[in-house]
Structure 1
Amino acid sequence: MRNKADHTAAIRGERRAAVVVNTKSRRGRRSYAEVLRLMRAHDFRLTGVHPVTEPARLREVVSRALADGPDLLVVGGGDGTLSSSVKYVAGLDVALGVLPLGTTNNFARSLGLPLDLAGAIGVFREGKVADIDLGMCGDRPFANLASFGVSVEVAGTVRPWVKRLLGRAAYPLTAITVLPGHRPFRAYITVDGRRHELLTHQLNIANGRFHGGWQIARDVSIDNRQLVAYQLGSGKRLRLLGETLVRATTGRWRSLAGGPFVTGQEMVLETDPPLAADIDGEVRLRTPLVLKTIPNGVRVMVPQSFVDR
């Protein structure tokens, strides 16, 4: 694999890029033609152009795009599309270029990317290659977040038209409707030999800096070799309701030093009762689980201001 400086020089000099856009995402279909226009306006040589009309075929499409040997794989879509794409480029000598075309765009926000098309594509031309951490939940890689509790029900309940209408507020507002029928659970998190116990309706374990479009805490990073576990509210519904409303209306953020956070490079999670895990939008595994970070697990294109550790 090339070093980051050589890889950056190749992208900015040769400009060999493949483009994959999920045209089923919130903005993907209407933005597709503009993505291609802007890429060509920035003099990128497109090795392939791949619209994704069936998200279940994303892996096949990404594999086809990578077969042409681009230095940069540009992927446009929501967090689910981008997180899945991360899995397919992890450890490869190709940089992921992120086009934020979803509702909350947590991954793009964690990288400090502009959320408009022109700004994001400008980063491909003027930015740099960085290696960021990749999370692992059991045998499933994740870019941003593994969550447990009421959010799993929310993910299966929130309607596409609500996301289109309300944007990132759709998730906390849907949670308010789900919460009255949800029962709290007990979670046990073991980090470095220390066991933490809590009673809650919602537990999140984050690799990235953002959740629901809002920053988790000011000192969280997607490149610090640490996972961050935190609960929303507690076992009391009213407290979680209040926390959800504050987050939905203000996007309040706080420091890790001042909140109920557990950090570590590896965590063992047990819950009573066993719970399903929502891993970057995909509900696949159940507790107990081991979660950990893979330092510098995936290569991405980021702004020059991004702090690459």
Structure 2
Amino acid sequence: MDAHQPAEPAEITRSTRRVAVVVNPVHSASRRALEALRECCERFDLDAPDVRETTADSPGYEQAREALEEGADVVVVIGGDGTVREVAQALADTGVPMGIVPTGTANLYARNAGLFGHDLQRTVRLAIIGAPEAADLGQLELTTEHGTQQRTFLVVVGMGHDADTVADVEDRHKATHGWLSYFLPGVRRLGNPLIPLRIDLEGREPETRDVWSVLVANTGMIPGGIHVVPDARPNDGELHLAIVAPTKLTQWARIAAAGIRPRYRAPSGLEYRRGEHVTVESDSPRRVQVDGDVVEGVTRLDARIRPGALTVHAIPSRQSIPRVDDLSDAAVARFVFEAHEYGVSRDGGAALVRLLTGLTGDRFVRVKYLLNSQGDMHDLERLVYDSLGEAPRMTLLTHIAEQAREVGTTSDVRVLCDIDDTVKCAIHDDRYPKGTVYPGVEAFLQALDEGSATDPSRPGDLTFVTARPGGPAGLFERYTRHKMDDLDLPPHSIMGGSLLNLHTKTAIAARKIENLGRDRRLFPECRMVFCGDSGQADAHVGLKARRDYGDHVVAVFIHDVVGIDARTRQDWRREGVYTIDTWDEAARIAEALDLISADGREQVERAVKEGRQPEPRTAAEARQR
């Protein structure tokens, strides 16, 4: 690095985000969710979470306030809508994000926020390291026979027969049947007489309407995927009013259809309105349901919206990405890897690119290497070239090039290595039994990965290059990786090809050359070494790489398995392509090129000496040599 450049920032080895959890232990799924969350914290280098359980007398608000006082950076709710609402009330206007792991009956807010229906590991990861998004909070004042109550709501408040329906559902049926427990009580009440309510929206002239129910929604969806209103979003800054007033039973069919397939134009018997403030009054005390909790004896409800009062961890998108400044380098790489593992949509790909391009300098380079060492079809090369579209790919590659120029050339050596007849005897070599791991090759790859410096270099330097396809769901790649499981190798990735690359040696070579070019664009700050064998087209690959990228590809080692003549060896050597019979020869050349240390060379020589010795080549091969 040039003298005028700032010192390299220290590697971030521990995440500092403080995670608090408010958990409702009554729900059967809460214990498993809490265990998954603890495992997630460990996986992302976070301290164990601060866990606080709710009780019947203290359903979540106090626990969340205590977590804030203790300095929590994120408060995760494990529970249903009631617990989520209590924690939301405590976190309002604090800027501290709320993560949600839904374990309740209806989980309405989680459904509306897109946080329901994912597998548990993904859900807890989003709760801890989601994208912080502003969300609205409903503020409610209820006038009852005994005074007034101040409440908050996240989903929907209802006065009328919908509240009676909710009250009819017994807790034991909720636990057994979930949201379906609301269905039959609702059907039984469809023919009930309409009730008179006075409605005042935005302080206009109140109007008295005969209604089945009035629903005031912050978000639009209720149990069964039914949409109370067609376009309510958790962050649109408005309350949405649904006045349900069918005069005939036959109108219920169209009302139900509008809930299943939302339409902006309401059918007869249903009316939509919107605003920031609404009051609903009744001459006689009635039930009101607040996000599924029933309040008895209400004569007036006064609802207002508090735009952006909450911060909620949501699914990353091109508009919103997770904060990573308080995560370790390894945690950032792990997050990108796991997000990639679940599949990258167009919006998700844009989010990952935004996250990665938000990192700069040495931290970006460290995360890049850590990501590439994750393996299993979700390394950096797969993300960039297989999962991203053309525009985000070019954005990320441009950022990679810019950051490489910023950090300058590193001492690291990228090692791209063939497998068959290079690492294991497989096809052309008759000196060893098939499947034999060549003596010294593991030690040589370890030495190259560690480099010539006294301190080992960063992980992620080794990539196995093959023309084999990844296969359906990565089946062939996992088979290839499984073959390497018994080897003593540093963290590594596998860069594959496709079935179209397997029919000729020329096609195999073309794919490997393409892979070398890809790797050069991903790691332009590094020197590269390619290791292959003489049985197929690796020598051609190495020669072309040296001719095209001689400043980048500093050496090529070709393991001779067919008996290359001396003249050809000399010609190749002049171009930086070294033909070797055993890996200790490669180690001595690599040390002379300042690619490995003396200690690394000695370990390779020791491994070759102690390993299985090759059988003599055939007489014809010997004469050719």
Where on the TM-score scale, by shorter chain, does this alignment land: which range?
0.7 to 0.9
Matching of residue 130 in structure 1 with residue 141 in structure 2: no
Call closer, same or farther: CA 1:141–1:101 in 2, change over 3 Å.
same
Q: CA deviation at 1:197?
A: 4.4
| Counterpart contact for 2:82–2:291, Cα < 8 Å | yes
What does residue 188 of structure 1 align with? 198
> Cα RMSD over matched residues?
2.9
- In structure 1, runs of 5+ residues without a counterpart are 1-11
What does residue 558 of structure 2 align with? none
Q: CA deviation at 1:173?
A: 2.1
Give the letter for the 2:311 counterpart: R
| Counterpart contact for 1:97–1:124, Cα < 8 Å | yes
What does residue 5 of structure 1 align with? none
Q: CA deviation at 1:298?
A: 1.4
Matching of residue 146 in structure 1 with residue 147 in structure 2: no
Helix, strand or coil at the partner of 1:304: coil
Call closer, same or farther: CA 1:31–1:129 in 2, change over 3 Å.
closer
What does residue 118 of structure 1 align with? 121
What does residue 496 of structure 2 align with? none
| Counterpart contact for 1:24–1:55, Cα < 8 Å | no
Separation in structure 1 between the aligned mates of residue 310 and residue 136 of structure 2, nearest angstrom: 7
What does residue 260 of structure 2 align with? 252
| Counterpart contact for 1:185–1:235, Cα < 8 Å | no
Q: Comparing 190-199 with 132-141, which one deviates more in the overlay?
A: 190-199
What does residue 111 of structure 2 align with? 109
| Counterpart contact for 1:21–1:77, Cα < 8 Å | yes
| TM-score relative to the length of structure 1 | 0.82
Helix, strand or coil at the partner of 1:256: coil
Call closer, same or farther: CA 1:160–1:277 in 2, change over 3 Å.
closer
| Counterpart contact for 2:77–2:98, Cα < 8 Å | yes
Structure 2 matches for 1:64-103, cutoff 5 A? 64-103=66-105
What does residue 40 of structure 2 align with? 38
Q: 1:93-118: CA deviations, max 9, x gaps?
A: 31111111112211112212243322
What does residue 288 of structure 1 align with? 300
Question: How many residues are paired up?
Answer: 291
Separation in structure 1 between the aligned mates of residue 68 and residue 180 of structure 2, nearest angstrom: 35
Q: CA deviation at 1:92?
A: 1.6
Separation in structure 1 between the aligned mates of residue 49 and residue 37 of structure 2, nearest angstrom: 15
Call closer, same or farther: CA 1:13–1:218 in 2, change over 3 Å.
farther
Give the letter for the 1:186 counterpart: P
Q: CA deviation at 1:258?
A: 3.7
What does residue 56 of structure 1 align with? 57
What does residue 297 of structure 1 align with? 309
Call closer, same or farther: CA 1:13–1:35 in 2, change over 3 Å.
closer
What does residue 200 of structure 1 align with? 211
Q: Comparing 34-43 with 132-141, which one deviates more in the overlay?
A: 34-43
Q: 1:199-230: CA deviations, max 9, x gaps?
A: 22222110113212523344211111111111
Larger Rg over CA atoms: 2
Call closer, same or farther: CA 1:289–1:156 in 2, change over 3 Å.
closer
Structure holding more strand per residue: 1
Helix, strand or coil at the partner of 1:46: coil
Give the letter for the 1:43 counterpart: D
Call closer, same or farther: CA 1:222–1:232 in 2, change over 3 Å.
same
Q: CA deviation at 1:287?
A: 2.9
Give the letter for the 1:91 counterpart: D
| Counterpart contact for 2:41–2:49, Cα < 8 Å | no
Call closer, same or farther: CA 1:233–1:162 in 2, change over 3 Å.
farther
Q: 1:17-36: CA deviations, max 9, x gaps?
A: 10121111252244332332
Separation in structure 1 between the aligned mates of residue 228 and residue 78 of structure 2, nearest angstrom: 24
Helix, strand or coil at the partner of 2:85: helix
Q: Comparing 184-193 with 220-229, which one deviates more in the overlay?
A: 184-193
Separation in structure 2 between the aligned mates of residue 162 and residue 243 of structure 1, nearest angstrom: 28
Helix, strand or coil at the partner of 1:152: helix
Separation in structure 2 between the aligned mates of residue 39 and residue 291 of structure 1, nearest angstrom: 38
Structure with bigger RCO (C-alpha 8 Å, 6+ apart): 1
What does residue 404 of structure 2 align with? none
